[in-house]
Amino acid sequence: MRAHQARKRFGQNFLVDLGVIEAIVRAIGPAREDRMIEIGPGLGALTAPLLDKLSSLTVIELDRDLASRLRQRFSETRLPIVQADVLNVDFSQFGDNLRIVGNLPYNISSPLLFTLVEYADQITDQHFMLQREVVDRMVAAPGSGDYSRLSVMLQYRYAIEKVFDVAPEAFDPAPRVTSSIVRMMPLPDTRVRAIDESLFAAVVLRAFSQRRKMLRGVLGAWTALIPWETLQIEPTWRAEQVSVPKFIAMADALHAAAVRA
């Protein structure tokens, strides 16, 4: 079989370091009957060791050539292949208690993370390899330079943990950036939720739209409707100073004031 040439338009960088592969599988901890989905299996670097520990593994692969290679290498009963753009895949078809893993292409990582939020109730956990800068934003605490809209929206729904970094040399071709493994576990039904989650998302989006501006400036007409002192939030704060619970409180206060997203 001829060698596969990595395709830049798909953001392909193939993991080749066996030590890193073993560490990722260990971090995931697959059990035989887990219902697991791998996004972007590529040349199967993670696929094969995961399948050694699973009864079956569903993979989602956009590249027709790579999907064909996987079909030649693995049986369809053990490795069902969904050949599609993962951003267009309806994950509800796979049932509940899903464990999702993948070395995500950098060019779709943020859109995919937001897409998967819609299916969080069906998901047990997610383990992804992403650009380190993205993972640093995902786990960032309020007050840090990495704290962003991505931080707030994902921490609203998941407990997120950075597991370890992966050097560029672990890939072929080597990317220009360091990667990181991140673990995401959906928060339970008992989590604190905004009354109007669309309004919550709108408040977060507006607050971070001009992150150098104070909240009282960037929130516009909403500023007068927020009981700043009661919520223990300063209108002179910037978005990066506001914790997830305080964003929820702001959204709930605006909902009480009859604001709708």
Mean local confidence (pLDDT), 179-195? 97
Mean local confidence (pLDDT), 63-88? 96
Question: How far apart, in whole angstroms, are the C-alpha atoms of residue 22 and residue 16?
Answer: 11
Tens digit of each residue's pLDDT (9 = 90 or more) over 233-244: 999 999 999 999
The pLDDT score that the predictor gives to residue 147 is 98
- Using H for helix, E for strand and C for coil, what is the string for 50-118? HHHHCCCCEEECCCHHHHHHHHHHCCCCCCCEECCCHHHCCHHHHCCCEEEEEECCHHHHHHHHHHHHC
CATH superfamily of 197-256: rRNA adenine dimethylase, C-terminal domain (1.10.8.100)
Q: Where does the chain hold its CATH 3.40.50.150 domain(s)? A: 8-186
Question: How far apart, in whole angstroms, are the C-alpha atoms of residue 158 and residue 233?
Answer: 24
Mean local confidence (pLDDT), 100-104? 93
Q: At 55, is the pLDDT very low, low, confident or very high (cuts 50, 70, 90)?
A: very high
Report residue 174 CA to chain centroid gap.
22
- Name every residue whose Cβ is closer than 8 Å to that of residue 130 and which is 6 or more positions away in sequence: 104, 106, 109, 138, 179, 180, 182
pTM of the model: 0.92
**Could you tell me which CATH class the domain 8-186 is placed in?**
alpha beta
Q: Which of 162, 173, 166, 184 is nearest to 21 (CA)?
A: 166
The pLDDT score that the predictor gives to residue 12 is 60
Tens digit of each residue's pLDDT (9 = 90 or more) over 117-157: 999 999 999 999 999 999 999 999 999 999 999 999 999 99
Q: Where does the chain hold its CATH 1.10.8.100 domain(s)? A: 197-256
Mean local confidence (pLDDT), 236-254? 98
Tens digit of each residue's pLDDT (9 = 90 or more) over 16-52: 999 999 999 999 999 999 999 999 999 999 999 999 9
Question: HSE-up of 58 (CA within 13 Å, CB side)?
Answer: 18
